[in-house]
Amino acid sequence: MDTFNFLVSILIMMIGIQLHETWIVLAVLAISILTSKDLSTIIAFIIATVVLYIVVGMGNIDSLWPVAIFGLIIVAIILGSKPQEQAADPYGGGADMFGGMGGGY
């Protein structure tokens, strides 16, 4: 998951929620879901949207929005961190000391 893309999308959704423009939130959510590659990204966007509606719906957004943003950043980092796959050996992993490149006699 691209964390920067996630954060920008969440901030745009938060602005849309604060302005009571639901179509902006739904448009950003739909575009983000359609362009995502992983199921974890889709789940993160849905969770983030629900959390934003809950935080803004409570009314006292001045004290809760930093907690919500940092919580969503943590969710993005946790869901976006995957073990990196090892790259295949480009030389085939030969038995000689030159990595299968031949040479010598």
For residue 37, the model assigns a pLDDT of 80
- 12 vs 87, which has greater pLDDT? 12
- pLDDT band of residue 48 (cuts 50, 70, 90) is confident
Residue type, 42: I
- Which residues, in sequence order, are CB contacts of 76 under 8 Å at separation 6+? 1, 3, 6, 7, 44
In whole angstroms, give the CA distance from residue 8 to residue 73.
11
Report the mean per-residue pLDDT for the chain: 75
Distance CA 13, CA 15 (A): 5
Tell me the torsion sign for CA atoms 39, 81, 76, 28: negative
pTM: 0.61
Residue 27, pLDDT above cutoff 90 = yes
For residue 47, what pLDDT is reported? 84
Name the token pair of 47: 């969770």
Residue 66: C-alpha distances to residues 38, 63, 100 (Å): 27, 7, 55
Counting residues of the chain whose pLDDT is more than 90, the rounded percentage is 4
Torsion of CA 36, 26, 72, 46, to 10 degrees: -70
Sorted by where each begins, the domain ranges of the chain are 3-80
